[in-house]
Amino acid sequence: MGIIERILEFLFGKKKPEHGQAQASLEDSVKMVSAELAGNERQLVQFSSAKFSEIKHLVLRLSKGAELLEKQKIDLKEGNEGFRRIVTTSQKNLSRQLRGLSQKLFPPQSVTAQSVREYCARALPAIANDLMPYWKNVALTKLLLKEEIKDLGENLKELASVISQLHAKAFDPRMAKLSNMDGLGKKIAEKAGAIGALGPKIAQEKKALEVLQADALSAEAAISEKAHSAQALGLKELEARISLLESRKAEIVSRLNSSLAPLEKVLKRLHSVAESGDALSVREKEVLALLLGKPESAIISDPKGETTKAIFSKAAEMIESGSISLKDSEKEKRLEALRALIAKDFFSEFFWEMNKCQAELSQCQKEASSLTISSELRALEAKLASGKAAVESKRHELDSQEKEFAKLRAEEKQLYAEFTSLFSPVFGGGREMKGG
């Protein structure tokens, strides 16, 4: 406020304002703070109402003074006319600025602690900020209208003094600390409310997690029990038997493939020749296609190998006649391979074994499909997977809530520390707060 007085002095030529150990719980302390703050704000409102009356009077006087200043006539013919014109311009500019300032300094209609603080925060700087750029206008106008400027200066100094007193009251350090503590108290209450609401929810979620974990354990136990039942053991034996029979089938097909491997080129050329003529019958063409593509089906389709041997015989004839052309070094090898296959007992070596293996395999598969243990285990495993996913989801949700709870507690602790650090210095008299 000293700076404003100095500015006004500089502008107008000479004025200012003045201003046992007990423990309380947080709740009591907050009530104490709120009560004292409310009392102080009531006093501020009462004080401000009186000061606003003074300010209104001074602002109206300032406005009228600005009007009178503007109405003052300066005789341009007396003395230096150029100089007097400059003073006249300064006079009008200053008058306009003072009228604008008087509007800014007019008090609010509603008088509350908040409106008082807002008014003081803008009014006090306005006196300096709005006039300082016009100090030359003041100085020039003062040269010819000394008494008018003097009256305006006294009026402004009085206004500055009253607003300064109001500002000191509105921004009293003790009241500022009380207001700060009151805000902290409200924030602590908010945090405590959030913690109070979240605590039971976490407890409820923990119980829900325990139920889900128990369900998952129950499903695991049921799976273990089913997996060791007589039906499950019987299914394992059948599955092992099925695996063995499928391996045998594969081995039979592999033997046939090994036998046919040296003749692959011959059979492919025979197939090409047969496609473009009538070297093979329809039946022989069908079996030849199976020998080249699906040997296992060829065994079933031609159990005794009669058609297969007929195909091999025709292939041998075509090699010998040159219809199937081979290098001389290959001919005898391919013919020997064909003769060996023609001499084979296809029924005993391939079909009988394959048929016996397939019959047993079909029986095992039928028995396995009649058992309900597989579907029961699948249902239990699906239930377990779903249960584990629910447990994981609930655990993640609970973890988030516990982190939020810890965050709220830490924030509450920080707010409490700030509140307690202000409480004793403000209330003095040995007052202290109980631990939170």
10-residue mean pLDDT series, the chain (436 residues): 48 45 64 77 85 87 76 63 67 75 85 88 79 51 60 80 87 79 85 90 92 91 82 82 89 80 82 80 86 81 83 85 80 83 76 83 86 79 91 93 92 86 65 50
Give the span between the Cα atoms of 267 and 189, in whole angstroms: 93
- Residue 334: per-residue pLDDT: 83
Rounded to the nearest 10 degrees, the angle between the axes of helix 81-104 and helix 113-131 is 170
- Beta pairing partners, 432: 23
Rounded to the nearest 10 degrees, the angle between the axes of helix 352-370 and helix 230-260 is 150
Give the span between the Cα atoms of 265 and 366, in whole angstroms: 41
Rounded to the nearest 10 degrees, the angle between the axes of helix 282-293 and helix 264-275 is 140
Give the span between the Cα atoms of 291 and 309, in whole angstroms: 12
- Residue 298: per-residue pLDDT: 80
Q: Tokens standing for 79?
A: 């003395």
Contact indicator for 90, 11 with CB cutoff of 8 Å: no
Give the span between the Cα atoms of 34 and 263, in whole angstroms: 105
Burial class of residue 380 in the structure, from the number of CB atoms within 10 Å of its CB (0-12 exposed, 13-18 middle, 19+ buried): buried
For 159-227, the three-class secondary structure string (H helix, E strand, C coil) is HHHHHHHHHHHHCCHHHHHHHHHHHHHHHHHHHHHHHHHHHHHHHHHHHHHHHHHHHHHHHHHHHHHHH
Contact indicator for 171, 33 with CB cutoff of 8 Å: no
* Full-model pTM: 0.47
Q: Containing H/E element for 23?
A: strand 22-24
- Beta pairing partners, 303: none
Residue 148: HSE in the Cβ half-sphere, 13 Å Cα cutoff: 24
Type of residue numbered 426: V
Contact indicator for 32, 140 with CB cutoff of 8 Å: no
DSSP summary character for residue 103:
H
Residue with tokens 């009008």: 92
